[in-house]
Structure 1
Amino acid sequence: MTARPTRNVPGIAAVVVVLIAIAVITAVNWPRLQPPGPRPAFQMPVSCGEMWIMGTYPGHDDFDIDFFPTSGSAWGRPVLAAYPGTVTEAGVNGTLGSRTPDNPKGPHGTGAGYWVKIDHGGRWETQYLHMLEPPSVKEGDRVEQGEQIGKIGSTGKSGAPHLHFEQRAGGEKMEAYFAGQPSGITRDDREYSVRRKSQNCPAAG
Structure 2
Amino acid sequence: MNPTKQITGKRWTSLLGTTRKARIISATAIGLAACAFGAAGVAPMAPEPDDIQVRSIAQELELPNLADQISALQQTEHTFVQEERVRPGDTLASLLNRLGVDDPDALAFIKSDSIARAVMQLKTGKRVQAQTNEAGQLQWLRASVFDGKDNPLKTISITRNGEKFAATEAEAKLERRIEMRAREITSSLYAATDSGGEGGRLPDTITAQIIEMFSTNIDFRSDLQRGDRFNVVYETFWQDGEMVRTGRILAGEFTNRGTTYQSVWFDDGKNGGYYSFDGKALKRAFLKSPLAFSRISSGFSMRVHPLSGKWKAHKGIDFAASLGTPIRAAGDGVIETAGPSGGYGNLVVIKHWANYQTAYAHMSRFAPGIRRGSKVSQGDLIGYVGSTGWSSGPHLHYEFRVGGKAVDPTKISMTAQAPLSPAELARFRMVSADMMHRFGLLRPTGTTGSALAMR
**Which category of TM-score, normalised to the shorter sequence, fits these structures?**
0.5 to 0.7
- Measured in 2, the distance between the counterparts of 1:170 and 1:179 equals 14
CA, structure 1 residues 112+138, in 2 after alignment: closer, same or farther (shift >3 Å)? same
Structure 2 length as normaliser, TM-score? 0.25
Match of 1:112 among 330, 344, 367: 344
Name 1:52's counterpart in structure 2.
295
Match of 2:334 among 76, 86, 100: 86
Contact 1:42 1:177 in 2 (8 A): no
Name 1:133's counterpart in structure 2.
365
Q: Deviations over 1:6-51 (max 9, x none)?
A: xxxxxxxxxxxxxxxxxxxxxxxxxxxxxxxxxx72111112xx24
- Measured in 2, the distance between the counterparts of 1:41 and 1:138 equals 22
Name 1:163's counterpart in structure 2.
396
Q: How does 1:132-151 map to 2 (within 5 A)?
A: 132-136=364-368, 137-151=370-384
Report the AA paired with residue 296 of structure 2: I
Contact 2:367 2:381 in 1 (8 A): no
- Measured in 1, the distance between the counterparts of 2:297 and 2:401 equals 17
Name 1:152's counterpart in structure 2.
385
CA, structure 1 residues 146+178, in 2 after alignment: closer, same or farther (shift >3 Å)? farther
* Aligned-partner SS, 1:133: strand
Name 1:77's counterpart in structure 2.
325
Larger CA Rg, structure 1 vs 2: 2
Query: How many Å apart are 1:53 and its aligned residue?
Result: 2.4
* Aligned-partner SS, 1:163: strand
Report the AA paired with residue 352 of structure 2: H
Contact 2:294 2:320 in 1 (8 A): no
Structure 1, unmatched stretches of 5+, are 1-39, 95-110, 182-205
CA, structure 1 residues 156+135, in 2 after alignment: closer, same or farther (shift >3 Å)? farther
CA, structure 1 residues 66+51, in 2 after alignment: closer, same or farther (shift >3 Å)? closer
Q: Does 1:175 find its partner at 2:408? A: yes
- Measured in 1, the distance between the counterparts of 2:366 and 2:332 equals 20
Contact 1:68 1:163 in 2 (8 A): yes
Percent sequence identity is 36
- Measured in 2, the distance between the counterparts of 1:61 and 1:163 equals 17
- Measured in 2, the distance between the counterparts of 1:131 and 1:173 equals 19
CA, structure 1 residues 144+54, in 2 after alignment: closer, same or farther (shift >3 Å)? farther
Query: How many Å apart are 1:135 and its aligned residue?
Result: 4.7
Instruction: Give the ranges of 4+ consecutive aligned residues of structure 1 lying more than 4 Å apart after TM superposition.
Output: 178-181
RMSD: 2.4
Report the AA paired with residue 291 of structure 2: V
Report the AA paired with residue 53 of structure 1: I
Report the AA paired with residue 339 of structure 2: G
Query: How many Å apart are 1:146 and its aligned residue?
Result: 0.7
Q: Deviations over 1:104-123 (max 9, x none)?
A: xxxxxxx1111100000211
Q: Does 1:64 find its partner at 2:307? A: no
Report the AA paired with residue 112 of structure 1: Y
Q: Deviations over 1:90-140 (max 9, x none)?
A: 01112xxxxxxxxxxxxxxxx111110000021100000000124531000
Report the AA paired with residue 151 of structure 1: Y
Structure 2, unmatched stretches of 5+, are 1-283, 305-310, 415-455
